[in-house]
Amino acid sequence: MDRFQHYIDGVFEDGTASFDSLDPATAAPWAVMPMAGAGDVDRAVLAAHRAFTSGAWPALTASARGKLLMRLADLVQAAAPRLAALETRDTGKIIRETSAQIAYVAEYYRYYAGLADKIEGAHLPIDKPDMEVWLRREPVGVVAAIVPWNSQLFLSAVKIGPALAAGCTLVVKASEDGPAPLLEFARLVHEAGFPPGVVNIVTGGPEAGRALTTHRRVAHIAFTGGPDTARHIVRASAENLAKTSLELGGKSPFIVFEDADLDSAANAQVSGIFAATGQSCVAGSRLLVQASVKEAFLGRLKAKAEAVAIGAPDDMATEVGPLCTLRQRDRIADLIARSLTAGAQLVTGGVVPQGAGYYFPPTILDCSNAPDAPCLREEFFGPVLSVVTFDTEEDALHLANDTEFGLASGVFTRSLTRAHRMIRGIRAGIVWVNTYRAVSPIAPFGGHGLSGHGREGGLAAALDYTTVKTVWLRTSDDPIPDPFVMR
């Protein structure tokens, strides 16, 4: 089997232990992965701290950091086919998506390469005539970046890119589920010429996570994952008082009004819930459709769901591949069963197929008469859509906001004024209007409530990895007056 290694202080090495990674399409082991223990994590963090405080990295100009990031972007683009094949093999995500997404990841590194020398301070028009005061934006320090298995090269880029642009160093912890592409990415970091210790990449379970999030040298924890793990991270951060940014899950509303282009909305809904086998934090998992067009729209969706090509993830014809893990498939099946007991009606799908691999079909649940069904409250992280109807715009807005999550949302209408009212009223970090699941390095994304806090992407992300230093310079040559009075 293939073997992968950690990348610590510029050196590739085995972990304290190892484990077999399973191919989700066959459930068979295909590679041996390193498993980091607390000692591995400690060495990685101390390497990052050394690189941050001394040596070549802090001596580089911002423009020089940008050139390194640009080199990394070129390497990612060139390696995209290899990285995509690894992600597909290790996570089950279809090759047609991993290929396109990883090629686009290079644009995130290019964006932050260009931003590196544009993180500016400010001069303050202070109210004291004998003082000059200005602000410096300086890197916060060592960043612990913790990413899940889904879209891991994208979800790591929105942390690594801005952190390096700001001048930080990082320890990146890949999920123990499907870590191959991120461990392989370390080779590109090495080839790009980043000084040893600037970027360290490990994988591991709870022991590694605790060691990383409680480490006294970690200044910022950037996490993408679920709310339960996020709570553990927030508690752990009390040990080092590290700043946290949390990009968590969602139960995003996908709202279709009767005046919408139903064919376009149906295609967007398929993208929003069945693409990536529904394993996306922004999945539009709650369809809110106006009652007058419910049957017409649901008919379109049912036909599209049943026509989806399910198959091997490395086949370019496949549209839905397997889930990443068996435990995730079991959880989805259990949540559907509980929702049916609560009164939801199965429109299509919902049955675990026979055969090898962790496959699950596109599934639609009609919850119009089951407002308390668990499927409307809990995140599936799978290809399952829950449907409710509404009559008025006010009803739609109430249903959209009737959740503890607040990450993404979609609004489909031809009415410009209605669109603006919904944009203003929906409590979510992202509102897509007549589209869904669009991203760009220029646009921040993130949420609130159980969807976390902080933003990734755009200038805001780079500034999040800085701290402000206020500098006071006295310009008078006269002796300081009364030293016992604050001036």
For domain 2-248+447-471, give the CATH superfamily.
Aldehyde Dehydrogenase; Chain A, domain 1 (3.40.605.10)
Q: What is the CA radius of gyration of the chain?
A: 24
Q: Report the candidate in 375, 434, 443 with the shortest Cα–Cα distance to residue 409.
A: 434
Alpha carbons 263 and 161: distance in angstroms, whole number: 37
The tens digit of pLDDT for each residue in 273-310 reads 999 999 999 999 999 999 999 999 999 999 999 999 99
The tens digit of pLDDT for each residue in 371-394 reads 999 999 999 999 999 999 999 999
Please tell me whether the overall predicted TM-score, pTM, comes out greater than 0.85 for this model.
yes
Domain boundaries, the chain: 2-248+447-471, 253-433
Task: Yes or no: say if 432 and 411 are a contact pair by the CB < 8 Å rule.
Answer: yes
Catalytic residue numbers, as ranges: 247
> Which two three-digit tokens encode residue 31?
């590679």
Alpha carbons 233 and 213: distance in angstroms, whole number: 6
Residue reference for tokens 């929003």: 272
CA geometry: angle 457, 160, 404, nearest 5 deg: 50
Residue reference for tokens 């232990």: 17
Residue reference for tokens 């050394």: 50
The tens digit of pLDDT for each residue in 411-431 reads 999 999 999 999 999 999 999
In degrees rounded to 5, what are phi and psi of residue 255?
-105, 125
Alpha carbons 26 and 177: distance in angstroms, whole number: 15
User: Is the confidence at residue 487, as pLDDT, over 80?
Assistant: no
For domain 253-433, give the CATH superfamily.
Aldehyde Dehydrogenase; Chain A, domain 2 (3.40.309.10)
Alpha carbons 174 and 196: distance in angstroms, whole number: 19
